[in-house]
Amino acid sequence: MLSAEQKLKARKRVKPYVIVNPVAGSIVDLNVLLRQLRRLNAKEVRVTQRPGEAETLAREAVRAGSGYIIAAGGDGTLNEVINGVASPRPPFEICVGIVPLGTANDFARSIGLTSEMDANINILRAKKTAPVDLGRMTGGHTRYFVNASSGGFSSVVDEKLSSEIKSSWGPLAYLRSAAAALPELHAYCTTVIFDDAERLMIDLYNIIIANGRYYHCQWTIRCRRTTDRA
């Protein structure tokens, strides 16, 4: 079995596969961004052309043997990459990095990243890793998450949230969409089952299952900083 030092040396020899969302909320000039990303010495840099493509690209990268994938975008881009990596379960260890470029960057803030590009690239170049819990939601289909998953009113808010609103309103886009969704607010009859088999029947307006500390930019939903324990 390799030691931690040996694993780090092995990771440093691996070139990352970078997936860029060109319409992420904080991108001003895509060409400038791509020049900055050259410092990562990437194996390949792919720019998505449509929603959902980051998941497809991540899955294809894993199938091609990539063990280090970087999501350059917001929380949505990261979520797509996570689902591309996690499903189906890869036969080898995958490291996922983040260049936070979104409107909220909730998960990046949860792990202490800032919007400083050079600092984030330095972290990615160092290739030091930390474990993160992976959440799984099942229903009609299975989805994975590292920051948060929600249902109820949050889903209605997300339906009101367009890329145009994000671009024009910035971090306030979520509050703007929440206000637009208020006429549709209602309770949902929900069954909650805990690990110890305790069962609750309760009317909920919203539910958030959180691994990260932040959700929709404005809301701090967990006080504990770590993301490696549920």
Q: What is the pLDDT of residues 137-155, one digit of tens each?
A: 887 789 999 999 888 888 8
d(CA 62, CA 96): 11
All domains of the chain, ordered by start, with CATH? 4-132 (3.40.50.10330), 148-210 (no CATH)
Q: What is the mean pLDDT of the chain?
A: 87
Query: What pLDDT shows up at residue 5?
Result: 64
Bridge partners for 208 per DSSP: 150
Instruction: Indicate the range of 7-16, 123-132, 154-163 predicted with least confidence.
Output: 7-16
What's the pTM value of the predicted model, to 2 decimals?
A: 0.82
Position 225 pLDDT exceeds 60? no
Query: What pLDDT shows up at residue 181?
Result: 87
Closest CA to 57 of 98, 13, 105, 20: 20
CA dihedral 211→50→18→147, nearest 10 degrees, is: 0
Instruction: Indicate the range of 33-42, 60-69, 84-93, 117-126 predicted with least confidence.
Output: 84-93
100 Cβ contact list (under 8 Å, min separation 6): 26, 74, 108, 109, 113, 115, 120
H-type alpha helices, 46-190: 53-63, 75-86, 106-110, 117-126, 153-160, 163-169, 173-181
195 Cβ contact list (under 8 Å, min separation 6): none
